[in-house]
Amino acid sequence: MDVLNSWRQSISFVLVFSFVDADGFAGFDAFRVAADTGLVVGSYGALCRLGTGATFVRKGIHQPEDKKLRISRSTLIASYDDLLLALVEGRQMTIAAIATDCVHPLPPEVIVAEGGSTYYQYYVVPDGTGLAVEWPGLSLSEVEGQTVFAATRAVIRPDGSAGVFANAFNALTGEDEFPHPGGFQCVLGESVKFFYASGDAIEAFETHDQVDSAFMDGKEVRLDVYGDLCEGAKPLFLSAGAEVLAWVREEAGDSPGIHFSQSIADLAGDIVVQDFRLGPEGMLHATIAVFDPVDPGDVPDVSAFNCTLGDAAKFSAPDYDRAELTDFASVLAAQLSGAKLLAEMDLSECVDPTGQVDLSGVTVGAYLRDLVVLGPGTPEARIFLSAFAVHSDPIGGLVYETFSATVDENGNALVYPGLWRFGENGEWGDDFRETVLECALGEGVRIFEALIPE
């Protein structure tokens, strides 16, 4: 799991590895990773007893079926056509890859693992050979103090066969450190499993106002694009889609609309950044930039296309209600119970005490996959939450747009906006510098709990 913390001097990813063993011990190892260098700049950890200092809770939806866990609301997908249908319908799925049941050339002494994800993006290739489901990550390098851009891909073919491949590109050298490039040959529905919640109803949004309301209502929105119906440089896919993890709505300026992005390392180790903007006129504007992250002189390869909403671009979300959490205790209780949380920051309702920054008309939203309590049990206790998006930048390659906030027990909130990148002088910095906005829980900062139907 990774979180982006926004501080005043710099930003760092917090890379956390949690674990539980057969003896009942559980804990985590956490590493702070500088966003500008990819180097580990600090670490800490904890070892606890399972059920005492550390607890694991099950989310109320989208989990694989398992009688031992008393989960029985999931549907296992067993065919290529059913998987493709579930993807284009916008169903939220859990992926489980059981490498021990796949065919591979590794000798017996090599330990293989099982893994999966609840976040992914997919695309269907135009030659009819299949579809790819992939998910990105950040992990530790084999070289102490360094990190890798990780990516896992499951290539599903129409006959139900599946290949699972992984890459781990060193953030400094670009070298692929994953030692088994041949991947694993698996079977859909057996060693590569896709599950979705059986009772889910999917709601589609066909106009800009409907999409805007879905984001503002805290829906878990996803986008599906049909490449052959888009205008401009044709995407190299028949269809593609992903969940929108974080978004920014701008009511004015040069680019009004809803902005969001996706990023992943491709097979060559280049970083692919996909920037999207849904304009008020109902057109989805997409820009894809591909660049070498370890070559400071690399010129990004940029392509762009436009997709009409409701035809070439479709937005959808699971159809369930939400409840607003209006105090510190309810937010903490919901997080510890495994609730799905969403956050919204309406910066028009926040105040910059210096009067130097005007962010009126800007609203930010994100799913809270991670939440931290600073100083628990003390009068200074504060909930810390953060979200970020990666965008392409013609100068530094990448720009990190960050929004972090803290909320104290009285509902007072502070918001730290950030726009981090390398400038023309080669220096790393934040366009917002020392900006801190004063808000309140329930006004400028709002947190919602998804109400899962029984």
Burial of 378 (0-12, 13-18, 19+ CB in 10 A): exposed
How many other C-beta atoms can be found within 10 angstroms of the C-beta atom of residue 46? 12
Q: In what order do the strands lie in the sheet with 192-197?
A: 74-76, 192-197, 93-98, 114-117
Task: Give yes or no for a contact between 387 and 246, defined as CB atoms under 8 angstroms apart.
Answer: yes
pLDDT of 28 strictly over 80? yes
Task: Give yes or no for a contact between 205 and 211, defined as CB atoms under 8 angstroms apart.
Answer: yes
Cα R_g (the chain), whole angstroms: 22
pLDDT of residue 452: 66
Rounded Cα–Cα distance for residues 86 and 89 (Å): 5
Give residue-wise pLDDT tens across range 150-182.
999 999 999 999 999 999 999 999 999 988 878
Give the closest residue to 370 by CA, choosing from 380, 383, 359, 382.
Answer: 383
Give residue-wise pLDDT tens across range 74-102.
789 999 999 999 998 888 888 999 988 99
333's enclosing H/E stretch is: helix 328-336
81's enclosing H/E stretch is: helix 80-88
Task: Give yes or no for a contact between 276 and 301, defined as CB atoms under 8 angstroms apart.
Answer: no
Task: Give yes or no for a contact between 185 and 99, defined as CB atoms under 8 angstroms apart.
Answer: no
The first and second tokens of residue 244, run together, are 């929108």
Give residue-wise pLDDT tens across range 110-126.
788 888 888 899 999 87
DSSP letter at 434 equals T
Rounded mean pLDDT of 25-54? 91
Rounded mean pLDDT of 280-284? 95
Rounded Cα–Cα distance for residues 165 and 105 (Å): 13
pLDDT of residue 437: 94
pLDDT of 17 strictly over 50? yes
Give residue-wise pLDDT tens across range 199-211.
778 899 999 999 9
133's enclosing H/E stretch is: strand 131-140
pTM of the predicted structure, to 2 decimals = 0.88
pLDDT of 61 strictly over 70? no
The mean pLDDT value of the chain amounts to 87
